[in-house]
Structure 1
Amino acid sequence: MKCQYSLCPNEVEIQSGHRPRKYCSDSCKQNAYRARLDEAARQAEELARQERERQAKAFLRQEYGDLLPDTIELLYQLRQSGHYNLVQSIGWAIVAERERVTHAQERARLAHAIMNLGEPDYHSIIVADAGHSEFVILGGRDAWQGFTEKASLEHLRTIYELYIEPIERNQLKRAKQS
């Protein structure tokens, strides 16, 4: 039988009347024990490394949003290489781009809802928001279209909150009663 210490090529002496030996010598037995301890330590260190990596990637997701796994991996690798400022610059550029797209989508949704509000006659309206500022949308489809294209997102939100949300709430209430 071969010695159980993986680096030893020797055979184990078989002695009758004794429990079978696993190692050819006490030094191989000790070396095998140390190898098992080293392997356990290596596995523990690997688990700790994986946990640190998981936490670092979770931090990146928290800081810059739920990005694609490949993007998180790229930012993580750059950060591990010591490029902290580059990671921050890329991360905030991605956040800004995502917000720009989100605002553009919100703007388009609000503009569409406001144009539907004005149909069919597109009459003039005066809008007074909670901040006590007033603005006017002149009558006519072209005036409404021009307003929705040039108005700030805050003005579009104000019109939506003052005029469209109450209508939607009433429609929802009627639908529930039916």
Structure 2
Amino acid sequence: MTDIIFSSIVADLKTAVANNKHAFRYFTLATSDFNNTPRLRTVVLRNIDDQLNLMVYTDERSKKIANIQANNRVSLLFYDQNRLLQIAIKAKAEIINDQQSLETIWKQIPSKSRNDYTTELSPGVEIKNPDDINYLEGKHYFSAIKLIPMRIEYLRLTRPNHIKVAFKKENNNWKGNYIIP
């Protein structure tokens, strides 16, 4: 039975990459800052590979990059309010440094979305007005982060019993066990 649940998780994540209306398309990424204070932000699921590694994009000057460089242990939280379904993932984050890979991805990003990575000022810098944002021509700060799952928890709120399953990777295979919700 846990195999069916695991397959449904993989199917949902793959669907979220292809369908921007899927509940898992936008999820919460948690890092720790330099004071070990949790930092949460919403990110967009951009890709999932055959090993279940997830990909998100960001500005290389963002705080999440510095947080990951200091501590690459992260948490992800996906929630579908219609199905009362939560997927929590503990992962290891890797910043993609290969310029050729980054340029390949960059070329696939629609022109209208590229502005997100071409601001003159770094993300988080205070400005007086949203119209004060200046964009660079011919230069970008695009970066990508690979999220490598280590543990996945599935929680389905249902009656008569909530269903919770913890999956852990063992010898490149995922093994699931039911746990008390």
TM-score category, normalised to shorter length: under 0.3
Task: Considering fraction of residues, name the structure with more helix.
Answer: 1
Higher relative contact order (CA 8 A, sep 6+): 2
Task: Considering fraction of residues, name the structure with more strand.
Answer: 2
| Larger Rg belongs to | 1
